[in-house]
Amino acid sequence: MSNLFVELAEKQNAGSGVTNPNRAARNGPRASILDTIGGTPVVRLNNIGPDHVALFAKLEAFNPLGSVKDRLALAVIEDAERSGALKPGQTVIEATSGNTGIGLAMVCAQKGYPLVIVMAENFSLERRKLLRFLGAKVILTPASERGTGMFRTAERLAEARGWFFCRQFENEANAEFHAQTTAQEILGDFEEIGLDYWVTGVGTGGTLNGVAGQLREHSPDTRIVVAEPDNAQLLASGVPQLRRPDGAAARSHPNARAHPVQGWTPDFISKLAGDVQDAGRIDIFQPVPGADALRVAQELARREGVFCGISGGATVAAAIALAEGAPEGSTILAMVPDTGERYLSTPLFDHIKVEMDEEEAEIARSARAQAPVTPPASTRNEPAPPVSEEMLDFVRAVIDDANDPVVMFGFEWCEFCWAVRRLLDAAGVPFRSIDVDSAEYRQEDRGGEVLRALFSHTGMRTVPQVFIGGTLVGGADEVLAAADDGTLAQRLTQLTPPIDFRPVANPMDYLPKWVRRPARAGV
């Protein structure tokens, strides 16, 4: 393999890989977002891992919703459509740590199926928000009940309501789709240079099951490596999983433990993964410490420009550990299942600060120390346009309008204006918003005239400016503080007729997240 890298470059330049079966050609417009699933790239990792091997990563974040589970979602839904198990308009339900749910949300949105996702409460907040953003309903189960609790809740809901339950952990369509797509892409990419080791973690077992079978048949010299958390080695333990007659796990595996690798190793061995083990297709078990998973995910970002989640870091960490003892010139491929953006609230990002560190602050100080830029001559000492008496009358009329006693002057997309809007909406307070930068006020600088009249009237030169019953309350800070101490509610109840202020928890939290807030008393 002395010409390995030259051969690889030529191979990549020529183009390779097999895409989804029965899908439109990859060139030209696609029929829908679903036709972009699959065909993900394999890239060489040049800056981490030992030099005597060629280490590669298959980047499943290139799927449209950012993870390998997009494949599963499409496979399960279309298989159910073909079999008649899923009827038009029927609700789909699944138990998932997040990525499967996000993939299902995309597929169900495109195809018009309502979706309910059951998820343990300890999975990242980003996943919940993404699911709801895509139109899914998210039902949370106690973290103490782990994966089996999610599964049982989804199963009961499906039975009680007649919903289609995807059963990703047992559904053969999951594995079959990986056999037809993921495995064929890998075989195509490594057809000429060969593949010595294929490394994957295990969640549903679909990737492992589908790819391992194809590698055994078409690339029998490739060794199949399963990575598991070092404190939760289920497959490697050799302890069998107790199952129900339908193949689903009957209870948690005795080796199950909490670990940081979301999406890997639920508290049971899925049927799809168990079938691979029973067939003797796993050659090596590689344990991964949780700290290594986090560290390698961070190194992939900083040294390779590969942005992935904890599971991707864990798989590459397993591949690096394997590589240390691999023969010279070995090729190793690690599956990198998803993107890092859905881990912002997890320990993966604990070391990332919001504020500038000292080095960044010094750079900022050096910029401020530079000589000020002299404005163009045409803009120096130009008198401000006069305030229109007509616009002053308009501003006064808006402020004193008894039909709209709560009014805000602001910008349409200002973060501080949005803080006030969100607070008033949450409190059930009707209000009028004069957005001086909106299309309504853009013509002939009408918005600028309103601002100049407002500033002249109040003496304040900032927005938003909020008025209640003709009296200025202030800007965003003042309004939120008044909501916090109860004076805003008092002002509203003194109106005729009075306006009720529905209590809002922590009003100051509506300010933009980058604003430094004083600590609350007792907090």
The CATH code of the domain at 388-510 is: 3.40.30.10
Which is the catalytic residue, given 67, 69, 252, 270?
69
Q: Residue 479 in contact with residue 406, Cβ under 8 Å?
A: no
For the chain, give every domain's residue range.
1-22+46-353, 388-510
Phi–psi pair at 243, nearest 5 degrees:
-125, 155
| Predicted pLDDT at 26 | 60
| Predicted pLDDT at 13 | 39
| Predicted pLDDT at 22 | 40
Q: Is the peptide bond before 64 cis (omega within 30 degrees of 0)?
A: no
Q: What tokens appear for 160 in the block?
A: 């009680």
Closest CA to 262 of 133, 175, 147: 147
Strands 54-59 and 42-44, sheet pairing: antiparallel
Query: At a CB cut-off of 8 Å and minimum separation 6, what does 453 contact?
Result: 387, 388, 391, 392, 394, 395
Catalytic site includes residue 513: no
| Predicted pLDDT at 351 | 86
Around Cβ 494, how many Cβ atoms within 10 Å?
11
Q: Which CATH number fits domain 1-22+46-353: 3.40.50.10490, 3.40.50.720, 3.40.50.11810, 3.40.50.1100?
A: 3.40.50.1100
| Predicted pLDDT at 209 | 98
Which is the catalytic residue, given 67, 311, 330, 433?
311
User: pLDDT of 79-102, one tens digit each?
Assistant: 999 999 999 999 999 998 789 999
Catalytic site includes residue 69: yes
Phi–psi pair at 452, nearest 5 degrees:
-60, -40
Residue 126 exposed, middle or buried by CB count within 10 Å (0-12, 13-18, 19+): middle
Q: Residue 432 in contact with residue 467, Cβ under 8 Å?
A: no
Q: What is the DSSP string of 1-19?
A: -TTHHHHHHHHHHH-----
Query: At a CB cut-off of 8 Å and minimum separation 6, what does 147 contact?
Result: 95, 97, 120, 252, 266, 267, 268
Q: Give pLDDT tens digits along the chain (523 positions).
A: 334 443 444 444 343 333 454 444 467 899 999 999 999 999 999 999 999 999 999 999 999 999 999 999 999 999 999 999 999 999 999 998 789 999 999 999 999 999 999 998 887 788 899 999 999 999 999 888 888 888 899 999 999 999 999 999 999 999 999 999 999 999 999 999 999 999 999 999 999 999 999 999 999 999 999 999 999 999 999 999 999 999 988 899 999 988 889 889 888 999 999 999 999 999 999 999 999 999 999 999 999 999 999 999 999 999 999 999 999 999 999 999 999 998 888 889 988 888 888 999 899 888 877 756 565 555 556 666 789 899 999 999 999 999 999 999 999 989 999 999 999 999 999 999 999 999 899 888 899 999 999 999 999 999 999 999 999 999 999 999 999 999 999 999 999 999 999 999 999 999 887 775 554 444 3
Closest CA to 100 of 257, 223, 263, 290: 263
